[in-house]
Structure 1
């Protein structure tokens, strides 16, 4: 009897111990699973696909502000570094959304990296993603902000540039009215009035030309154009002014080069370069205009013996209304739009314009265009297709 009870007691004790051991194993496994979920969190289904499809930069962070998902755009903007947000302000926005639960939108100007001073303009939106995660979206508005600033500057510059000749015309008209019997004064004021009216007309025409060039990415009606004829026409337009100051316009030998494009637009571009060279050259000096054909590229170079351009201004000389020397430019009658017109005219023909200059050694502006024979379009190619081919040749 005693032995039977001992057996039953042993069995019961074994069952209790076994059940306890199984419970311990289950508990340990549960804790391990929960720990795994914390260490390696799983974002909601579909988030990866959404981030790939978004045109903006997208980032998902966990409760410890670790970046668990990020789009290529986020890395491209430098917003993620070493699996963490690289911008302190973004971390602050994430913490605020986690604390309040309310989404936030804010415009930020952030450094693109710690290696330079380049910045990006972003519109950032931060909101909860489920109960654990925070979703951050960043829309890059850098180019839009830059264009808006350019627009504001353009309007301000136009207002300023128009104000000067209009004011001068008004004053001269009053002076003429007050001295009708003084023939000498009348002739003087009339000459000044004609000069200011011409300046106003040139500025207005330059604004119109630049607007047309910027509105069209390619030449709408491209034809075969002789570069020698373009150069000859541009030189003739500046010959009277050059001879009045004893400046020699020296042209090189004929290149016989042909390009596809608009002859009047190309003539305007070369004319602007020659006109600039004449206006900024000292009296009794020389302006050289040369053409060259090499490897399917036509080059038109205009060289002067003027004061030159400082290195810090070389990157900006093609901007609208930008002048290296404000006083000298106004004295020579420049509108501040000539080089900008050159840049857009050449780009619309699939080419580029370059500048070399050193203070005291003069400047050389070079237009580079794809040669028509090098492009060799068939007879049924449209003008727009021809310009697109030219653009491709330039970027190869």
Structure 2
């Protein structure tokens, strides 16, 4: 009996020890899982797909501010590099979210990448994601801000450009009234009034034209056009001015090139280039206009022997109201919109415009347009 009791006691102790050991194992396993959860950087289910579907940049930060998941946009914008946020401003916002538990939204100006000098304007929003993570969303609004600045500059420039001819018209009208009994003065003031009125008319027309072009992303009803005919029409518009300045306009041989487009717009674009070449060339100079076909591209080239353009100005010459020579532009009646109009016309035709220039050696402007395939000869009725 006594030995049986000892056996039972030993068995009970063994069971108790075994149960305690299993309990310890269970607790250790639970702590191990928790520790693994703390160390494991995996984001909650579904976040990967959400970030991949977003058009804006997105990233998920762990408690140590390591980036455990980032969209491709976040990397390409330069917000994330080497699994870290590049900008300390974003880290400060993440800390604020953890501290307060409230989402934050900010507009920031950040560098584009860890080594970039270019800046970007970004709208960011950060919020908690579960108990451990912070979600960062960022929208690049640089282009929107740039367009707003362009619009503001455009309005300011229009106001400035209109102010001069309007003031001149008013002064000349007043001078005419005071010189009513002096025929010579009346003729002189009337001539100047006509000049300023014409300049005001041109400026207004080009502002309207440029506004229309900027609102037009593509051609609505393109037609099959003969490029040689377009060039001939554009050159004819500048013949009188060129002859008066004893400037020769030499047109190259016919190319037979065809493009799809709007004839009025293309004639206007080429004419603007030819008119500029004439206006900025010295008396007796030569302006060359040529067309060539080059591997599916039609190139319309206008070359002058004028004063040329400084390298620093080459990148700005297609900006609205930008003038290389302010005084000469005023003298020739230039509005500063001609090249901007040319650029927009070419763009909506699916092409581009290039310029080469050297001070003292003249300039060459080249319009490049996609060549249209040649149909049967009967379909091109007016092709010379």
| Short-chain TM bin | over 0.9
Matches within 5 A, 1:72-111: 72-111=72-111
In 1, distance between residues paired with 2:82 and 2:114?
14
How far off is 1:18 after superposition? 2.9
In 2, distance between residues paired with 1:271 and 1:13?
107
Partner in structure 1 of residue 382 of structure 2: none
In 2, distance between residues paired with 1:116 and 1:73?
16
Matches within 5 A, 1:176-325: 176-325=176-325
Find the residue that maps to 2:324 and give its secondary structure: coil
In 2, distance between residues paired with 1:166 and 1:196?
8
How far off is 1:178 after superposition? 1.1
How far off is 1:42 after superposition? 4.5
How many residue pairs end up in the alignment? 378
Find the residue that maps to 1:373 and give its secondary structure: coil
How far off is 1:123 after superposition? 0.8
How far off is 1:16 after superposition? 4.0
How far off is 1:345 after superposition? 1.1
In 2, distance between residues paired with 1:63 and 1:114?
22
How far off is 1:148 after superposition? 0.7
In 1, distance between residues paired with 2:345 and 2:105?
41
In 2, distance between residues paired with 1:283 and 1:34?
87
In 2, distance between residues paired with 1:36 and 1:78?
31
Partner in structure 1 of residue 163 of structure 2: 163
In 2, distance between residues paired with 1:303 and 1:346?
18
Partner in structure 2 of residue 383 of structure 1: none
CA displacement 1:212-248 (0-9 Å, x = unmatched): 2222222223222222221122112111211222211
TM-score w.r.t. length of structure 2: 0.92
Matches within 5 A, 1:110-149: 110-149=110-149
In 2, distance between residues paired with 1:164 and 1:139?
42
Find the residue that maps to 1:196 and give its secondary structure: helix
| Alignment RMSD | 2.1
How far off is 1:104 after superposition? 1.2
Partner in structure 2 of residue 386 of structure 1: none
CA displacement 1:363-391 (0-9 Å, x = unmatched): 100111222225x59x99xxxxxxxxxxx
How far off is 1:20 after superposition? 3.5
Partner in structure 1 of residue 70 of structure 2: 70
In 2, distance between residues paired with 1:84 and 1:114?
11
How far off is 1:295 after superposition? 2.1
In 2, distance between residues paired with 1:191 and 1:184?
11
Partner in structure 2 of residue 53 of structure 1: 53
In 2, distance between residues paired with 1:49 and 1:256?
54
Partner in structure 2 of residue 344 of structure 1: 344
In 2, distance between residues paired with 1:322 and 1:144?
22
Partner in structure 2 of residue 18 of structure 1: 18
Task: Name whichever of 180-189 and 44-53 sits farther off.
Answer: 44-53
CA displacement 1:279-320 (0-9 Å, x = unmatched): 111222111111112323221100011121222222221121
How far off is 1:129 after superposition? 1.9
How far off is 1:202 after superposition? 0.6
How far off is 1:128 after superposition? 1.6
In 1, distance between residues paired with 2:151 and 2:218?
22
TM-score w.r.t. length of structure 1: 0.90
2:81–2:114: 8 Å Cα contact kept in structure 1?
no
Where structure 2 has 5 or more consecutive residues not aligned to the other structure, the ranges are: 380-384
Find the residue that maps to 2:315 and give its secondary structure: helix
Find the residue that maps to 1:357 and give its secondary structure: strand
How far off is 1:203 after superposition? 0.6
2:309–2:357: 8 Å Cα contact kept in structure 1?
yes
In 1, distance between residues paired with 2:368 and 2:136?
45
Find the residue that maps to 1:131 and give its secondary structure: coil
How far off is 1:6 after superposition? 5.0
Partner in structure 2 of residue 391 of structure 1: none
In 2, distance between residues paired with 1:16 and 1:213?
89
